[in-house]
Amino acid sequence: MSSNQFINPFLVVVMTVGIILAAISMVRETNFSEGDWIAKVDGIPISRAKYLLQLEGLNIDKLNPLTKQDELYVLERMIEEELLIRRAVDLGLLKTNTMIRGTIIQQTINSIISDNALKPIAEVELRNFFNENISFFTSANKLRIRQLYFKGNEKVSFKRAQKSFINLQNGMPFEEVSVDGDETTLQIPDTLMTLAKVREYVGPSMMNLAKKLNPGEFTTPKKVSNGYRIIYLVEREDAIPPNFETAKNSIKAEFSKRRDDLSLRSYLDKLKKWYDIERRGILEE
């Protein structure tokens, strides 16, 4: 067996890791003055500030003072990272490699919502959020649910489920939408049931989604055996609401999560206006 058979997979791993690290660095880097660069790769500048930050990190890890050789080493590694990025773009890896795409997407999201972590949350703001969403933080004792079930080919069943979901979103009564669903062998009783009983009919994951709904709300289409299902909440019987002070940590976590979601949604809406988008509707017949 030749040594190349060992070397080539290793090089692939090294290049992939290098591309991901460079991609993360690229996402995190802030804007800088056009003249404030330490090197250029194919016309793309590498900022001096980023270079100095890398040097500072190396200096912290080293026991001895940085040498000229260290400085050149850091610069060459940054140039090589940029070269990997350029090559990855040329090879189409940013479009086709799911690991790289996922890393870039997650780092971009993190950069969008990072400012929220610096914003303090006022006590009154948190209390108002708790009072407005008290049912979310209150455990349900019993639920009365209905379901829409769409069976058959995955693509066709999802298309039907999505159409009914949109109809529900547009305010169409559940009774009218339900005629588009399919019959199931296991009929859900039209009565309040304990969570344990609900779980018997729809499974633990759907039960966990249902208990977070308010009456009149419904889930998105969820993949189940041989099709898709939508759960609609008719009625719920709740336990005693939690005390604000004892539930404060979970309230703050949910508040932060929703604030991040709103920031991301607002940013995505702006992106849709900045770039040209063409769609082929999935609901087209």
Res. 85 pLDDT band, cuts 50 70 90: confident
pLDDT of residue 251: 94
Per-residue pLDDT tens digits for 96-147: 888 888 888 899 999 999 988 888 999 999 999 999 988 788 888 899 999 9
pLDDT of residue 236: 92
**Mind listing the domains of the chain with CATH numbers?**
7-109 (no CATH), 139-238 (3.10.50.40)
More confident residue, 63 or 83: 83
Across all residues in the chain, what is the average pLDDT? 84
pLDDT band at 248 (very low <50, low <70, confident <90, very high): very high
Q: With 60 as the cut, is the pLDDT of residue 17 above it?
A: no
Least confident of 33-47, 203-217, 220-234: 33-47
Which of residues 186 and 270 earns the better pLDDT score? Answer: 270
> Binning pLDDT at 50, 70 and 90, where does residue 281 land?
low
With a cut of 50, say whether residue 203 has pLDDT above it: yes
pTM for this predicted structure: 0.58
Of 2-6, 192-196, 225-229, 269-273, which gets the smallest average pLDDT? 2-6
Reply yes or no on whether the pLDDT at 26 is more than 70. no
Q: What is the pLDDT of residues 147-194, one digit of tens each?
A: 999 998 888 999 999 999 999 999 999 999 999 999 887 789 999 999
Question: How far from the centroid of its chain's Cα atoms is residue 178's Cα?
Answer: 30
Looking at residue 259, what is its pLDDT? 94
CB 116 within 8 A of CB 257: no
Percent of the chain at pLDDT exceeding 70? 86
